[in-house]
Amino acid sequence: MLKNLFLTTLLLCSATVSAESVFEVNLDPAPYSRTEARVQAMELVLNRLTGGRAQDSWVQDEARRDLSRYLQSEPTGPGYNAVFNEEELLALLKSAELPFSLTSRPTVLVWLSEEGRSRNEASRVWRRASSAYQIPLLWPLWDLEEHMTLDTRDLFDAKPLREASRRYGANYWLAVEQDATGGRWQLFGSAQEQPLLQGRLASGADTVTGLMARLNRYWVEKNEQRSALRPDNPMPIQPLLAKADASGELTIVVSGLHRYADSVLLERKLRQLDGVGAVYVVDSAGSQGRYRLSVPGSRAAVLQALTTITGLAVTGEREFSWAGGQHD
């Protein structure tokens, strides 16, 4: 009776992580700089949603540039806490055609052997890693009943591990063997005889966080959502004209902006040019956009710099064609 009550308590405790929103972040300890904390929290949310794919996409740079647009609130509490805007973030991911997942991560039963000794509770490192990727963890009792069927030396033997895991009700269990030089791990599922995933552990402070990130990528790949492809922007019936420039400005017209992502990528490249103070989208029509560049110095130098942007071709006086989406 007491053992069943203890198991129920463990299950309830493990569920607290999954109850949090994937858009809520707690960094504890937090970076000293609030700006750094905001960026770190944003990158973590993007990694949760995409399984790490955002790291190789322009969306991470775009989110950093306009953090206030995606940051909804910063609640008080220990460390740094942030809540991000679900609608804005999902719109960003869909514009980049990145798959993502909002599905709650399942509870994972962890069989951990550290230096040959079994662990039946989460250390601070494991709690932080579990919270970072919203993966609820359940820890076994490692009592006499389990030691009769499973020894720490047999953690990667699927049959005794399955037998010892049955009474915890988890659909997944993780076997981890860790020592000072690293270790190894395997993820098992109740419906499969063979490991679902396996790998090596590197030594270092972030090794458990890296393991949780790998599990998170697995859940995202299993449950990813993709937005329906939107038709490309057509060429406008009435083409845009560059028009006259005011002092300190340079207006250009760019064609070939077939997707929203093309406009974002181009704007980012324009902001990076030497001699450009700011970039404004004046208007757009179909696959064309008119951009106004603030040019405190030489207009000729900026026009020359425009020809060096990969994917941007000159088609006329202050007129260009964009094919950069093929290069990013």
Structural domain that includes position 312: 249-326
Is the pLDDT confidence value at 320 over 90?
A: yes
Portion of the chain with pLDDT greater than 70, in percent: 90
Residue 272 belongs to a domain: yes
Q: Which two tokens stand for residue 164?
A: 């010892």
Is the pLDDT confidence value at 233 over 90?
A: no
DSSP lists the bridge partners of residue 32 as: none
Signed CA dihedral, 95, 271, 56, 28: sign only: negative
CB 31 within 8 A of CB 25: no
- For residue 304, what pLDDT is reported? 93
C-alpha 180/C-alpha 184 separation (Å) is: 12
Considering its fold, how many domains does the chain have in total? Answer: 3
Kindly compute the dihedral angle of the four CA atoms of residues 198, 202, 205, 208, in this order, to the nearest 10 degrees.
0
DSSP symbol at 326: G
C-alpha angle 294-295-301 in degrees, rounded to nearest 5: 140
User: CB neighbours of 90 closer than 8 A, spacing ≥ 6?
Assistant: 100
Residue-by-residue DSSP string for 103-141: PPPPPEEEEEEETTEEE-S--HHHHHHHHHTT--EE---
C-alpha 209/C-alpha 295 separation (Å) is: 45
- For residue 4, what pLDDT is reported? 47
**Domain identity same for 142 and 200:** yes
Least confident of 117-121, 225-229, 290-294: 225-229
Among residues 160, 162, 102, which one has the least CA distance to residue 134? 102
Last residue of a domain, one of 34, 61, 95: 95
The mean pLDDT value for 210-219 works out to: 95
Mean pLDDT highest for which of 27-41, 148-162, 218-232? 27-41
- For residue 242, what pLDDT is reported? 85
Residue 138 belongs to a domain: yes
Residue 274 belongs to a domain: yes
Last residue of a domain, one of 61, 95, 129: 95
CATH number for 294: 3.30.70
Last residue of a domain, one of 95, 117, 133: 95
pTM of the model: 0.71
C-alpha 204/C-alpha 181 separation (Å) is: 9
Q: Which two tokens stand for residue 271?
A: 């902001």
Is the pLDDT confidence value at 7 over 70?
A: no
C-alpha 107/C-alpha 17 separation (Å) is: 9
243 vs 220, more confident? 220
Residue 238 belongs to a domain: no
DSSP symbol at 292: E
Among residues 80, 90, 93, which one has the least CA distance to residue 35? 80
Residue 263 belongs to a domain: yes
**Domain identity same for 91 and 126:** no
Reported confidence tier of residue 2, pLDDT bands at 50, 70, 90: very low
DSSP lists the bridge partners of residue 172 as: 108, 189
- For residue 1, what pLDDT is reported? 40
**Domain identity same for 137 and 66:** no
- For residue 227, what pLDDT is reported? 57
Per-residue pLDDT tens digits for 114-159: 888 888 888 999 999 999 999 999 999 887 777 667 777 778 888 8
**Domain identity same for 113 and 89:** no
Query: What's the mean pLDDT when you consider all of the chain?
Result: 85
Signed CA dihedral, 89, 213, 16, 222: sign only: positive
**Domain identity same for 88 and 40:** yes
Residue 214 belongs to a domain: no
**Domain identity same for 112 and 171:** yes
Q: Which residues in 100-118 are b (16+ Cβ under 10 Å) and which e? A: bbeebbebbbbbbbeeeeb
Residue 144 belongs to a domain: yes
Is the pLDDT confidence value at 10 over 80?
A: no
**Domain identity same for 176 and 148:** yes
Among residues 171, 51, 200, which one has the least CA distance to residue 108? 171
**Domain identity same for 60 and 114:** no
Per-residue pLDDT tens digits for 55-111: 888 888 888 888 988 999 999 989 999 999 998 898 888 878 888 999 889 999 999
Residue 231 belongs to a domain: no
Strand ranges for the chain from DSSP E: 24-27, 71-73, 80-84, 108-114, 117-119, 137-138, 172-179, 182-189, 197-201, 249-255, 278-285, 288-294, 312-316, 319-322
